[in-house]
Amino acid sequence: MCGIVGVVGTTMVNQVIFDALTLLQHRGQDAAGMVTSHNGKLFLRKDNGAVSEVFRTRHMKKLCGTIGIGHARYPTAGTSSSAEAQPFYVNSPYGISLAHNGNLTNTKKLAQEVFEADLRHINTTSDSEVLLNVLAHELHAEGKLVPKPSDIFNSLERVYARIQGGYAVVSLITGYGILAFRDPDGIRPLIYGSRETADGTEYMVASESVALDAAGFKVERDINPGEAIFVDVNRNIHFKQCTPAKVARPCLFEYVYFARPDTVIDNISVYKARINMGEKLAEKIEEEWLNHDIDVVIPIPDTSRTAALQIAQRLNIPFREGLVKNRYIGRTFIMPGQTVRRKSVRQKLNPVPFEFKDKVVLLVDDSIVRGTTSKEIIEMAREAGAKKVYIASAAPEVRYPNVYGIDMPAAAELIAHGRTAEEICRLIGADKLIFQNLDDLINACIDEKHSNVREFDTSVFDGKYITGNIDAEYLENLEKARNDVQKSGSEPQQSSDMMQPF
């Protein structure tokens, strides 16, 4: 999962992109990058680390231009080497930079085509570089010295015909504008907005609406599934449905965990969806845990806080902040390597003994993936004096890998894969464990008043991959690529600065 942003402005856009990436930092902490354009020249800075670490004052001064794109990365099937930080760049045609959120599910086939038929070289293991070269090849095939928006959209129609998976993309075509597009199922989020200045209208596209809100951009709408938007250097905006429209089926896990609560995706408020998750889960607790003895509800910060508060209100039980989070430790779910995640849990969270001692505690988490965090926190709760420790998950059991851009790991690493809730409960050391029902989670996210979305990508819960091209061989290869042993291996770090190195 990554965060992307593109801006066409009337003044320097480096600070706007930096601020947007900071707001999207929760989507990826492995690496960050930005490319801007001024007078036909490109300026790129990217490296491993958080946004504030990658972009120092000396870098920002050199990122000049009124048009640019940015990326906040966390690794999926690739590595965490700085060589894979985005945006990627190719010089032909025009000079194209690209940043990508998601995952292409036919990367192996595409990479072979790019090399054998398109005669292009791929330098990393990233599917984003493959996608960039496919786009560059199709733009080159148009054969236009000065491409019109119609030429760009025509080439993109062929790109859609070649690529498969879940993706949201921003691309800077040097001297011409920014192109952004979304996968045909709308799995990965992409939204655009505008703001008026004294010198004219500026435009931004981003992964989440919060990036637009904070910068003073008016949210216009989500990019539709299979739709592309092109904003030229003169700030004229163009749209094209580049592949037949499908029913939007956004990733359900965006609402559960990844997106910020103040974000709206496909006209569905993430905050309201999480309130509904808590309400649905409280109803299940009332039905299945008759005469429960819960003394206090404690969220596992931060994502589960909204659902936990609703559970406490519905059950009429005190809500307490019993776990204090160190805000300078990243999200353990998206850290590369199981050893790093395990170590980080106790660095990230510390219990308040007063809230645990001699109490029956209901811990609420947004989901249970590997079980690492849950097991460590339950141990911490017992060490703090809890009499009993129950745990509730706002999401159902995560049983299957994600193939659309979330590093939901190999099946063997998922604690719920092939296990019952009772077995999971014993493994993590809880006294009781309850999961949300999938139908309840779906209904919690549906907003009939504001959104026409009625279906979601639920593959991590039910193993139904909506793009329809996922088989056992693909999942087996994915498992090999994602195993934690490979991810934790060391790689030579390469210089990641291009064009104007700094």
> Can you say which residues are annotated as belonging to the binding site?
303, 365-366
CA 45/CA 34 separation, integer angstroms: 6
CA 231/CA 69 separation, integer angstroms: 12
Contact by Cβ (8 Å): 372, 428 = no
Question: What Rg do the C-alpha atoms of the chain give, in angstroms?
Answer: 23
β-bridge mates for residue 231, sequence order: 178, 237
DSSP per-residue letters across 63-109:
--SSEEEEEEE--SSS---GGG-S-EEE-SSS-EEEEEEEEETTHHH
- Give binding residues for Mg(2+) as ranges: 303, 365-366
Would you say how long the chain is, in residues? 502
Q: How far apart are the first and last CA of the chain?
A: 27
Q: Quick one: which of 295, 337, 303 has its CA closest to 319?
A: 295
CA 435/CA 447 separation, integer angstroms: 22
Does residue 2 carry a catalytic annotation?
yes
CA 499/CA 502 separation, integer angstroms: 9
CA 452 remoteness from chain centre: 22
Contacts of residue 287, Cβ cutoff 8 Å, sequence gap at least 6: none
List alpha helices for 221-267, DSSP H: 252-253
Phi then psi dihedrals of residue 318, to 5 deg: -60, 140
Both tokens of 300, joined, read 């596992």
List alpha helices for 192-296, DSSP H: 209-214, 252-253, 270-288
Q: Is 168 helix (H, G, I), strand (E, B) or coil?
A: strand
Q: What is the side-by-side order of every strand in the sheet holding 41-48?
A: 41-48, 31-38, 67-73, 3-8, 200-206, 191-197, 218-222
Positive/negative CA dihedral, 424, 430, 436, 437: positive
The amino acid occupying position 120 is: R
Positive/negative CA dihedral, 253, 256, 257, 258: positive
Contact by Cβ (8 Å): 380, 430 = no
- Per-residue 3-state assignment (H helix, E strand, C coil) for 9-33: CCCCCHHHHHHHHHHCHHHCCCEEE
Residues assigned a catalytic role = 2
